[in-house]
Amino acid sequence: MAIFGLEGLIPDAFVNTIKNVNLPGGDITLFFVLLVFSYIVIFIALKIVLIILKYLSSKTKTTLDDELLAVAEKYSHFTAVLLALFISLQTIYPNLIVGTYNELQILIILFMVLLAFFFAEIADVIMVWYGISIQPPERKKIPPKQVFPFVRTIIRAAIYLIFLVFILQYAGFDTAALLTGLGVAGLAVALALQDTLGNFFAGIHILMDKPFREGDYIRLDNGMEGTVDRIGWRTTKIISFDNNEIVVPNSKLSNAIIQNFATPDKSAIVFYDIGVSYDSDPDEVEKTILDVIEKVAKKNEYLLPGTGFVRLQQFGDYALIFRFGYKVNGYTNRLAVLRDINKELLKEFRKKKIEIPFPIRVVMKK
The range of the structural domain enclosing residue 155 comes to: 12-192
The answer to the question of residue 361 being in a domain is no
Q: Are residues 162 and 24 in the same domain?
A: yes
The answer to the question of residue 146 being in a domain is yes
What per-residue confidence (pLDDT) applies to 266? 82
Spans in the chain with pLDDT lower than 70: 1-27, 99, 134-148, 150, 189-197, 207
CB atoms under 10 Å from CB of 315, counted, come to 9
Q: Are residues 128 and 30 in the same domain?
A: yes
pLDDT tens digit sequence for 149-203: 767 888 888 899 889 888 888 887 777 777 777 777 777 766 666 666 677 777 7
What per-residue confidence (pLDDT) applies to 165? 86
The answer to the question of residue 200 being in a domain is no
Q: Are residues 168 and 43 in the same domain?
A: yes
List 220's β-bridge partners, or say none: 258
* Largest separation between any pair of C-alpha atoms in the chain: 135
Q: Are residues 85 and 38 in the same domain?
A: yes
**How many domains are contained in the chain?**
3
Q: Are residues 62 and 112 in the same domain?
A: yes
What per-residue confidence (pLDDT) applies to 146? 64
What per-residue confidence (pLDDT) applies to 292? 94
The answer to the question of residue 50 being in a domain is yes
pTM metric for this prediction: 0.54
Q: Are residues 66 and 91 in the same domain?
A: yes
> Buried b vs exposed e over 176-194: b needs ≥16 C-beta within 10 Å?
eeeeeebeeeeeeeeeeee
Query: How far is 46 from 34, CA to CA, in rounded Å?
Result: 18
Q: Domain holding 293: CATH number?
A: 3.30.70.100
pLDDT tens digit sequence for 7-29: 555 555 555 566 566 656 556 77
Domain end call among 222, 243, 260: 260
Q: Are residues 303 and 234 in the same domain?
A: no
The answer to the question of residue 40 being in a domain is yes
Q: Domain holding 236: CATH number?
A: 2.30.30.60
